[in-house]
Every structure is written in structure tokens, then in C-alpha cells.
Amino acid sequence: MQTSSKIIRLAILLAAALALPGTALAEIKVGVTVAATGSAAALGVPARNTFTQLWPKAIAGQKLTVILLDDASDPGQATTNARRLVTEENVDVLVGSSITPNSMAVAGVALENGVPHFTQSPVGLPPGRDKWTFMMPQKVSLMATAVFEHMKANKATTVGYIGFSDSWGDLWVKEFKAIGEPMGLKLVAEERYARADTSVTGQALKLVAAKPDVVLVGASGTGAALPQIALRERGFKGIIYQTHGAVTKDFIRIAGKSAEDVVLPSGPLVVAELLPDSPQRKVAIEHLRSYEAKFGAGTITQFSGHAFDVLQILERTVPVALKKAKPGTKDFRQAMLDAIESEKEIPASHGVYNFTPTDHAGLDVRGRVLLTVKDGTWALVK
């Protein structure tokens, strides 16, 4: 009888322990939607590789489950995926997507349901609409400032622009007006094209005819190569600037010789081994080497880094949130939000993250470098 009583008492204690936050049998669910196919696959595939092949199976002593869906580069599908991840899978965290229109769609679902959301592309959300959304890539204004400063340093005054006819293209025009124009730069031509277009000959001819000192291309992925090729083929001799959305080896491969001497801002990951020692360099090299060991030399992209950096933030913030609530609950989501906004100086492959309640773009100047292409590979702009 006494033995039986001890067994019952132990069972009660075990049940009570399992009810506490942070116990070993809890499961943390991360729902991911990326462009694994479609026009933005060059951005989405490296992220998919990282989420599925390089993330651990546990975090802070808890089981970690990653549920990844392909949105095929379509904002409507990104919305559908995000809703499914929240309503059917009850994820604790949302991640996605690979391009700005899709990320903005996921941000809407995150706001409606109160789920912490990490974008894999820059977004420009109105105040209040970003309450649950945190941006992993560098904000456009941070990168744009480096681009416009380089233009001024090289005596440019007139700028031609060609960009995607969507929110990514709009963001760069907005930043040009906000930052470039006060520096004394003047936009003399503006052209747009769709992500799925296969030719920009007409737009390139108009840009060349406007005779700008330099041209800025507001595009991403392999689609950024179209204007690069067309402008050089039609005799444009000035500097062509790209955005951090174009930093992929596929861009160099497709653009070929026309990519030589392009100037573009980037996160530090792709040139990590060229950087001075720092906590972020250590993290960047760790990811670079583990990714290329798995997928081959030269395959690293900044987009795999954004996926890896979500893990760096979760490893810092999940233990904090577990002290307040259990995964799978509304309280845990709120605890995660609070932890993300309060934890400081989180080193990652793209820089050092410091999110606050009023700033959900957590990177500073430590998260950017200027790159060019020399002999078919990346080099730092001196």
C-alpha cells in the first residue's frame, strides 16, 4: 500500500512537471513559406536548404518542428500558406517569404493572428501593421544610403532607374526620393518591368537615351540580370548599381561579362572570409562553411543567411519566453514577441540584431558592405 502510494505521488509530480513551461517534452513549431519554385526560386531555394537541412531538431531543450511550404513566388499562395500554418498547424512562429510582396502578405496574417513573424525579404509596413513582423534582411534605407553615397563619391548627379513593377521596385524609388534627392541626385528616367518578363530592351533604350550618369536597378534574383545585360549591350558605359536582392551567384552567371564592375550593397555573409574579426564574422563563417560543405563550394547566398539568422534569434529568445509560457499557446507567442523586442546584440551572419518595440528592422551599419564583381566573383568595393 505504501509502495502504491509512492507510485501515485511520483505520477502526480511527473504530471505537474510536464505542465511547467520549458519542460523537455514541449514542441516548438516554426511555420515557413518560401519561394522554392517560381520567379524568385533563386532566393527561396537557399533558404529552404537551410531550414530543412541545417536547422537543429531541438532548441533550448525542446523539440523543434519546422513546417515548410512552397508559395511558388505568388503572394496569394503565401497568404494561403501562412493561414494554414497558423490555423491548422498552430505554429508559434511564422517565417517568410522570399520576396517583398509575399512577405507583406504573410505580415497581414501574422498581425491578424498575433504570431511573431520573421520576413526573409525587406518590407515597408505602415506604423502598427508591423507589430508582429520582424525584418531579417537589411532595411532598404540602410542599403540605399550606401548606394547613394557611392554615387556622390563618384561625382554622379543624374540617375536612371529601372525596377520591378511591384512593391520592391516601389521601395527603391521611395528611398531615392527620401535619401538620394536631398543628396543632390536627380532621377531623369524611370522604367519598370514585371518579374516574369524575359526582355527589357525597350526600357533599356529609353534609359540610354536619357543619358544618366549612372543607373540603379531595383530588382532581385535572376530577374536583376535582364537590365544589366540590356544596358551594356546598348552601350551604357556608366556604373550600374543593383540592390541587395541581386546578390546571388546566379546573377553573375546569367549576366556574364556585363556583371563586371557592378556595384551593389550586401549583407556581409557572402564575403565573410574577407572581413575583420568580430562576433558576426564568426557566425557568418560558421554558416558559410556548413552550407557549402552540404551544397558545394560557391553556393552560399545571403538568402540562406537570413534563414540561419532566424535560428540565432530563436536560440536567444526561446529560453526567455519558455520561462513565461508553454509553446502552442497565445501566451507563448506574446512572450516570444516580448523577448525578441528586449534581447540585445544578437550576433548573426548578416550583422548584429537589436530589435525594439519601435524598431523591427534590427540591423545597423555592421550589417552592410558594398560589393562589386571582378573576374566573375564578388569583391569588396575599396
pLDDT in tens, 193-234: 999 999 999 999 999 999 999 999 999 988 999 999 999 999
pLDDT at 179 over 80: yes
Three-state SS string across the chain, please? CHHHHHHHHHHHHHHHHHCCCCCCCCEEEEEEEECCCCCCHHHHHHHHHHHHHCCCCEECCEEEEEEEEECCCCHHHHHHHHHHHHHCCCCCEEECCCCHHHHHHHHHHHHHHCCCEEECCCCCCCCCCCCCEEECCCCHHHHHHHHHHHHHHCCCCEEEEEEECCHHHHHHHHHHHHHHHHHCCEEEEEEEECCCCCCCHHHHHHHHHHCCCEEEEECCHHHHHHHHHHHHHCCCCCCEECCHHHCCHHHHHHHHHHHCCCEEEECHHHHHHHCCCCHHHHHHHHHHHHHHHHHCCCCCCHHHHHHHHHHHHHHHHHHHHHCCCCCCCHHHHHHHHHHHHHCCCEEECCEEECCECCECECCCHHHCEEEEEECCEEEECC
Pinpoint the residues of the chain covered by CATH 3.40.50.2300. 10-138+288-366, 140-266
Burial status of residue 104 (CB atoms within 10 A of its CB: 0-12, 13-18, 19 or more): buried
Question: Would you state the pLDDT for residue 4?
Answer: 42
- Strand 369-374 to 377-380 pairing: antiparallel
Instruction: Tell me the pLDDT band of 148, cut-offs 50, 70 and 90.
Output: very high
330 Cβ contact list (under 8 Å, min separation 6): 114
Among the residue ranges 65-69, 220-224, 367-371, the one predicted with the least confidence is 220-224
pLDDT at 23 over 80: no
Is 313:346 a contact under the CB 8 Å cutoff?
yes
How far apart CA 78 and CA 57 sit, in angstroms, is 25
pLDDT at 19 over 60: no
Is 364:316 a contact under the CB 8 Å cutoff?
no
Average pLDDT, the chain: 92
Is 5:54 a contact under the CB 8 Å cutoff?
no
How far apart CA 35 and CA 120 sit, in angstroms, is 10
How far apart CA 265 and CA 146 sit, in angstroms, is 7
pLDDT at 274 over 60: yes
Q: Which three cell numbers stand for residue 27?
A: 514542441
Question: Would you state the pLDDT for residue 382?
Answer: 81
How far apart CA 8 and CA 12 sit, in angstroms, is 6
Instruction: Tell me the pLDDT band of 135, cut-offs 50, 70 and 90.
Output: very high
Instruction: Tell me the pLDDT band of 62, cut-offs 50, 70 and 90.
Output: very high
> pLDDT of 76-134, one tens digit each?
999 999 999 999 999 999 999 999 999 999 999 999 999 999 999 999 899 899 999 99
Which residue shows C-alpha cell 511573431?
Answer: 116
CATH level 2 (architecture), domain 140-266: 3-Layer(aba) Sandwich (3.40)
> pLDDT of 249-272, one tens digit each?
889 999 999 999 999 999 999 999
Question: Would you state the pLDDT for residue 124?
Answer: 86
pLDDT at 350 over 70: yes
CATH superfamily of 10-138+288-366: Response regulator (3.40.50.2300)
How far apart CA 49 and CA 255 sit, in angstroms, is 24
Q: Which residues pair with 241 in a beta bridge?
A: 216, 263
> pLDDT of 281-340, one tens digit each?
999 999 999 999 999 998 999 999 999 999 999 999 999 999 999 999 999 999 999 999
Instruction: Tell me the pLDDT band of 25, cut-offs 50, 70 and 90.
Output: low
The percentage of the chain sitting over the pLDDT mark of 90, rounded to a whole number, equals 87
Q: For Cα atoms 97, 357, 329, give the angle at the middle one, nearest 5 degrees.
A: 65
How far apart CA 193 and CA 118 sit, in angstroms, is 28
Which pTM was predicted? Answer: 0.83
